[in-house]
């Protein structure tokens, strides 16, 4: 993450592993990501779905063949733009992947990625540990019956007819992945920083302590584990 004006740092991985899908319209002649070489792909710059889009594209073509354009951060707007023909492809996440499939769109590539939580210096380990315990319980409930909980994907987009029309049976449960929250591996944090820097998205060398509050992260996870174990 970039430097925070309020001193926030990363404190752990989120429980949800996000599925990002590179999507083309029903009328598109594109069937593989390679066919998007030298074609503008709409990305919501600065968000995880945009980084996922770059990774899917660079895995299919030379970097110089990757062309992107700015798109709204709202997946609803990106889906609408795709259906209007404003661009050849974009990256969506749930529930908009399911919306796109129901509309006849084609997924030409998918990937999964972690997000991270951030916290300011005001957050106490006890509070963060309580959050971790609650999230962990939720993970176990969701994994025991994913179909029961997919309707929560719709809550943030209530009022959008395409989302309101979805039923739990419409969702591909293989794209719904949650796991117990964990600490952030240093090797992966470093790789992510250096990869982003290679695209010119951030500047400077990786600074572990500047990026991750290891004390808060470690203390909270230790407290959460002690309560679960007791």
pLDDT digits (tens, 9 = 90+) for 31-64: 999 999 999 999 999 999 999 999 999 999 999 9
Pair of tokens at residue 108: 């030409």
Using an 8 Å Cβ cutoff, are 13 and 179 in contact?
A: no
Residue scoring higher pLDDT (230 or 104): 104
Angle of CA points 182, 12, 43, to nearest 5°? 110
Looking at the chain, which runs of residues are DSSP E strands? 9-24, 40-43, 67-70, 89-92, 106-119, 177-178
SS3 109: strand
Instruction: Quote the CA–CA distance of 186 and 107 in Å, as a whole number.
Output: 32
pTM of model > 0.75: yes
How confident is the model over 148-188, as pLDDT tens digits?
Answer: 999 999 898 999 999 999 999 999 999 999 999 999 999 99
Give the sign of the dihedral formed by CA 108, CA 15, CA 94, CA 85: negative
Instruction: Quote the CA–CA distance of 20 and 56 in Å, as a whole number.
Output: 9
Q: What is the pLDDT of residue 7?
A: 80
Q: What is the DSSP letter of 200?
A: T
């Amino acid at each position: 993450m970039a430097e925070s004006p309020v001193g926030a740092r990363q404190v752990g991985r989120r429980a949800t592993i996000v599925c990002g899908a590179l999507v083309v319209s029903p009328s598109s002649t594109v069937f593989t990501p390679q066919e998007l070489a030298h074609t503008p792909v709409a990305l919501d710059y600065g968000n995880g779905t945009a980084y996922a889009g770059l990774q899917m594209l660079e895995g299919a073509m030379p970097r110089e063949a990757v062309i992107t354009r700015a798109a709204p951060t709202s997946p609803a707007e990106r889906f609408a733009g795709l259906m209007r023909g404003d661009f050849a492809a974009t990256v969506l996440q749930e529930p908009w992947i399911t919306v796109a499939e129901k509309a006849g769109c084609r997924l030409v590539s998918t990937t999964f990625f972690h997000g991270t939580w951030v916290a300011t210096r005001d957050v106490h380990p006890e509070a963060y540990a309580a959050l971790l315990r609650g999230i962990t319980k939720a993970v176990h409930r969701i994994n025991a019956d994913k179909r029961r909980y997919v309707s929560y994907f719709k809550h943030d987009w209530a009022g959008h007819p395409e989302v309101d029309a979805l039923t739990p049976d419409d969702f591909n449960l293989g794209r719904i992945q949650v796991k117990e929250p964990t600490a952030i591996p240093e090797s992966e944090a470093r790789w992510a920083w250096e990869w982003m820097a290679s695209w010119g998205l951030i500047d400077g060398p990786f600074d572990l302590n500047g990026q991750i509050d290891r004390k808060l992260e470690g203390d909270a996870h230790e407290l959460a584990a002690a309560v679960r174990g007791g």
